[in-house]
Every structure is written in structure tokens, then in C-alpha cells.
Chain A
Amino acid sequence: MALNPDSLLAFSPMHRLQWEEAQQKDVILYPEGMVELNQSSAEILKLCDGSRTLDKIVTDLETKFQATGLKNDITQFLEVALNNGWITEQ
């Protein structure tokens, strides 16, 4: 499933994104399961709050981390996230 560039991306209400102190990382929680996230994946998912499109997420992260050329990596990860049901398109 490819991302629609016009959609607003939101974290799925059927999952929970949470910082775990004991593991020192963000995790996604869902029925009887858990995915441990690296820092960049977590930063991307935190911006999926229903107010941003893919391009907006890329711009915001490039600004935040003073970087360029992040679009491919971010798109790839968000497609994985969409296919896993971690995010939804609105």
C-alpha cells in the first residue's frame, strides 16, 4: 500500500505509542504485542497526529534535525507503518 501524499496521517487509535523508561526507548503497544522503536522511527510517528501530510512531516523533521534529503527514508518507514496498521490516512 502506497501513501497518499494528500492524506493527513494519524497514529492509530488501536495502538499506543509510549516511552518506556526501563528500556530507554519508545514502543508501540497493541493487543498482546509490542514493537520497540529506534529514535528516528519514534520521531516520525510522533508527528502523525492527524494534522500533517507526508510532506509536512518531512519538512518539520528536516527543520528539527537541520538535515536534508530525509524524504525517502521517511516515506519508506511510513509505508511500513501504514501496512502494519500503526498509522491511518485521513
Chain B
Amino acid sequence: MAGSPNNNAHKPRWLLAELTYACPLQCPYCSNPVDYSQYPTELSTEDWKRVLTEARKMGAVQLGLSGGEPLARTDLAEIVRHARDLGYYSNLITSGYGLTEERIIELKEAGLDHIQVSIQASTQELNDHIAGTKSYSHKQDVARLVKKHGYPMVLCVVIHRQNIHQMADILKMASELGADYLELANTQYYGWAHKNRDLLLPSREQFEAAEKIAQDYKETVKGKMKIYYVVPDYYEDRPKACMNGWGTTFLTVAPDGVALPCHSARELPGLDCPNVTDFSVDEIWNESKAFNFFRGDEWMKEPCRSCSEKDQDFGGCRCQAYLLTGDMYNTDPVCSKSPNKHLVQEAIDQAMASAEKTVEVPLVFRNTKNSKKIT
């Protein structure tokens, strides 16, 4: 074990409950693990309620209900009601697919605080292509219904090379739909996105042009719509402060009950991530090997170990270090101080070379057939 069990003051504040890996969409940048088809079991309603209760007792207050597509769980309203009784602020993170007005009302009555709807692009053709499912007009209807029933409406658009040219239209669409918040999430290259990186990564010029449009628009809609801009870290000089530091704030529980310090941590070797059916949330948070693994800075190698910024970014993202360098203890290679920074440039060059090919390799859509093929 790299870290050591500790009694630090950090307690979970955010609980991400990935209720299911089932999803009617097939987005090729999905953050679910590529081998998700190997974990078909799902926690029972009672297990989820107990996890919520235990995490709330420790201080968790923001609850993300995610997946897969969380609407696929027929007990969603029951889980929401339990969350409300405990005092969580609950966020439903959904594709909107299959969300009827009846269900929106049912969830409101159960105490759901907010609905985040994802839209893949500003045009039907591209949206339906990326989602792998006809869903564009339905999603727009859902966004309007979410507003109609008094929820704060967050529209989430994942940005990548296939839709980045639509930035101006995406902003306009969000504004017309009356979004209170627009999350422009540049793709983070884990899971399926890592698999499809050559087809998804935009060029620096594309990203800078799109960012300028988004930043300018922020001023236009000030006071009406808040824009969250998630930066594409391949083009940054410093890594993100991933998860606000390992085991300090975030707790993810996967559909089968595996507890993760971040939703990608399942990809890391040797963590032995514990399952909520075997241990209490308190035991998992405070005592498990996985949650103590990268706590503090004793695990760090150079250049992180002696870096004056190590308390700001915690060495960046462990999953990125692992995916790009093969060693999860390395400095996140996004950092310009990393001796592996060239690997990020090589990934960019490779993606740009792929963009210039006349015949592109097809996207690998996120579905069970492909998941089984890959693993």
C-alpha cells in the first residue's frame, strides 16, 4: 500500500451513485469502463438506500445519480425519496432518453433537486450519430419539460472533434432551451474516449477557437445562464487537481457496489477496490487500501515529490498517468514538468494524422457487443 490508513479530517462530500451500466445510448466517449459488460450485477434498492444513509452520516451532501442511464432503474423515485429524506441535494445525470413528463413529476414529488440533460450536438444528424440512437428531438422536449416543472436545468454537451465546430450553435441552442447552466465538457480521455481518442481529440487551433466563442458568450448571457467550461487537459501546462485530491471529497459507487475514489479508478491495477456489500462506507473511506492508496504525498515520485505545486494539483490524475505512461505513480504527463510530456504530444500528433486520412476508422460505439469484444 502506498499511503497509510489515516484519520484525516477529509470526509466524503460528493457521492456519485452509478446506478446501472445499462444505457440506450452508445456515446463513443462514455466514461464507463470499456469492460463494463463484465460487471452485470446491480445493487438492490435496499443496498443503495443503506449506502446513501451511511455516506450521508459521514457528511456527503451532493448526490449524483448517474449510470449508464439511471432512468433504467425502476426504483429511481424510491432512491430519490430516500435521498431527500436524508437531506442530500440530488442531481439526476441523464441522457433524457425515455424521460416522460409523468416521470419528471414523479421524481419532483420524490424530492429530486436537479436534472442534467446531455445533448450530443446542435443538429439532429450529428446528435443521433454520436449517441448511436435517434434521440435529438426527444432530448429537446425533455429539456423543455425539465424547465416547465421548475427544476434548475443543466444542459451538458461533451465537446470533441466531431462537434467542436458547432460551438456557436450549441450555445445558441442552450440559450433557446432556457438552460440555467451549460456544461461544456471537453472530452476527458478515459474509458471509451481513450479508445476513440484519435477520432475525438480536436486540434489546438480548433479548441482555442471554440473556447474563445464560449468565453465571449459568457458575457452575453451573464445573469441568465452560467457556463461551466471543462478544459481539455491535453492542451494544458499543468494537470487538473483530480478529484480535489484522492480520497478527500469524492466517493463513487459503481453499479455492482464497488466503491471507487474516482469513477475511472477501476482501470488502475492492484487497488483491490472494496464492495459496499462487504464493508460499510465508513470502513471503505477510512480503512480500505484503495481509498488510502494515493492519499497525501508520500506515494509521489519526482518531479512531483519536490514540486512547490504538489498541494495544488496533487500530481494530477492517476488514471491519466497510468493510461499514458503505464505507471500510475508517475506525474500526470499533461504537466510540462513531466519527463513524459512528449507522450501527450505524440497522442495529439497521432490524432491529427488520423484526422487527415481520407478514410477514417469508424468510432467504437459504447455498447455491450463492443464491450465484450474489447475485453
Contacts and interface: CB of A to CB of B under 8 A. Distances in A.
Contact of A18 (B13, B87, B91, B226): B87
B132 interface: no
A31 B61 contact: no
Interface in B58-117: 58-59, 61-62, 64, 87, 89, 91, 113-114, 116
A29 B89 contact: yes
Contacts of B223: 1, 83, 85
A14 B61 contact: no
A67 interface: no
A81 to B, nearest CB: 13
A31 B59 contact: no
Contacts of A20: 59, 61
Interface string A1-42: 100000000000110101011110001011111100000000
B62 A29 contact: yes
A31 B87 contact: no
Contacts of B116: 31-32
A31 to B, nearest CB: 4
Nearest to B90: A29
Contact of A31 (B13, B150, B152): B152
B103 to A, nearest CB: 19
Nearest to B151: A14
Given A14-B180, A16-B89, A16-B113, A30 B61 contact: no
Interface in B142-167: 150, 152, 154
A13 B150 contact: yes
Contacts of A31: 91, 113-114, 116, 152, 154, 180-181
A32 B59 contact: no
B238 interface: no
A32 B13 CA distance: 11
B129 interface: no
Residue in B87, B89, B91 whose Cβ sees the most chain A Cβ within 10 Å: B89
Contacts of B113: 16, 29, 31
B152 A22 contact: no
B152 A30 contact: yes
Contacts of B13: 34
A13 B114 CA distance: 11
B11 interface: yes
B11 A22 contact: yes
Interface string B297-331: 00000000000000000000000000000000000
11 contacts: A1-B223, A13-B150, A14-B180, A18-B87, A22-B59, A23-B59, A31-B154, A31-B180, A32-B91, A32-B154, A34-B13
Given A29-B89, A32-B64, A32-B154, 17 more contacts: A13-B150, A18-B89, A22-B11, A22-B59, A22-B61, A23-B59, A29-B61, A30-B89, A30-B152, A31-B113, A32-B62, A32-B91, A32-B114, A32-B116, A33-B62, A34-B13, A34-B62
Interface of A: 1, 13-14, 16, 18, 20-23, 27, 29-34, 83, 85
